[in-house]
Amino acid sequence: MAGFVTACAFLATLVGAFPLQLSIISVFLFAGAHNLMEFRYFAARMPVRWGRSKTYYAVGIGGVILLTAFYLTIYFMSGNWLWGATSWTLFVGGWNTAFMIWVGLLIHLRGLQKPKSDWSWGLFAAFALAAVSWMAPSYFGLSIVYLHPFIAMWFLERQIRRTKPQWLRAYRMCLASIPICLILLWTTLAQQPNLPEDTSLFWRIIQHSGSGVFPGISSHLLVATHVFLETIHYSVWILLIPLVDPRAIPWRLSEIPLLANRDGIPKLVVASLVVGALIVVILWAGFMVDYATTRDIYFAFAIAHVMAEFPFLIKML
């Protein structure tokens, strides 16, 4: 526990001092690698036979594909001269609504598998949040950027419950250090001047942190907060989840049911892992050749892994 707290404090100090530099380095080193580790984790959790979860997984996978396609359409059309403010608001609000209804439907379907509990609140909450999102679509989208790292921490909490329950109390105490580090970051950086936007890369990083949505808040604080949370997110998937779940250790391929089971699809699983590893290498090469463009492409398609987390997380509830 002391090691975790010390690491968080050191990270917060480093990020507070060099937010742009740490953003560039962390994305270069860990963005693709953590996606591969996520895929490896999800592959180990996908059952060979879906059984009574057939509808659940069909809705989950279908939602990931459709929502990603919808998002990419908005992303790559946003620079079109025909794309006015009204059109952008309608499409972004539509995506937010579709996303919330999809999550609510997954919660509802999961609840049907637990007859002794009432999960009808899922759809109600989804429609309520969808309605709220129309009031400020940009804020809703940005909330996903900042809340996404906490989903990794939630995955880790659920996994510790299953495989290392004796670590749960210590883990919760470690989690308590994160808001303390954030408060110290905000207190220290609240009055700092905005970060320089003299290069297109710096401008992209600052805008991604929400500077355009929160113009009254120091971009130094926003970027540092985002990099701090995102780096913890990377650490959870690359280091901590394999530490508590033997099935997530990359080289233990026999732990993947779809590969090891005689009714599985081993060739497809191996091919997917090989392609994933190649994509990580291609990303590293792309970052070295043209960091800014590669970063834009990565974050456009990264929405797919954000979506993919929800079916598996809800399934673990």
Question: With bands split at pLDDT 50, 70 and 90, how would you rate the model's confidence at 113?
Answer: confident
| pLDDT at 81 exceeding the cut of 70 | no
Query: CB under 8 Å, gap of 24 or more: what pairs does 237-241 form?
Result: 237/34, 237/37, 237/38, 237/41, 237/152, 238/30, 238/33, 238/34, 238/37, 240/156, 241/37, 241/41, 241/155, 241/156, 241/159
pLDDT digit string, tens, across residues 222-275: 999 999 999 999 999 999 999 999 888 888 888 888 888 888 888 889 999 999
| pLDDT at 143 exceeding the cut of 90 | no
Task: Write the single-letter amino acid at 280.
Answer: V
Model pLDDT, residue 78: 66
Range 270-285 burial, b when 16+ CB lie within 10 A, else e: eebbeebeebbeebbe
Structural domains in the chain (count): 1
pTM of the predicted protein model: 0.90
pLDDT digit string, tens, across residues 181-232: 999 999 999 889 999 988 888 988 998 888 877 778 899 999 999 999 999 9
Model pLDDT, residue 159: 92
pLDDT digit string, tens, across residues 33-63: 999 999 999 999 898 888 888 999 999 999 9
Distance CA 107, CA 126 (A): 10
The residue assigned the tokens 């650490």 is: 235
Contact partners, residue 96, CB within 8 Å, separation at least 6: 130, 133, 134, 137, 140, 141
> C-alpha angle 293/298/300, rounded to 5°?
95
Q: How much of the chain is in helix, strand and coil states, percent to nearest 5?
A: 80, 0, 20
Q: How many CB atoms lie within 10 A of CB 236?
A: 23
Model pLDDT, residue 74: 82
CA distances from 8 to 57, 94, 147, 151 (A): 36, 37, 18, 18
Please give the DSSP secondary-structure letter assigned to residue 256: -
Model pLDDT, residue 308: 92
Range 251-266 burial, b when 16+ CB lie within 10 A, else e: eebebbbbbeeeebee
Distance CA 99, CA 103 (A): 6
Distance CA 218, CA 193 (A): 6
Contact of 37 with 237, CB cutoff 8 Å: yes
Q: Which domain holds residue 217?
A: 2-315
Furthest-apart CA atoms within the chain: distance in Å:
61
Distance CA 120, CA 141 (A): 25
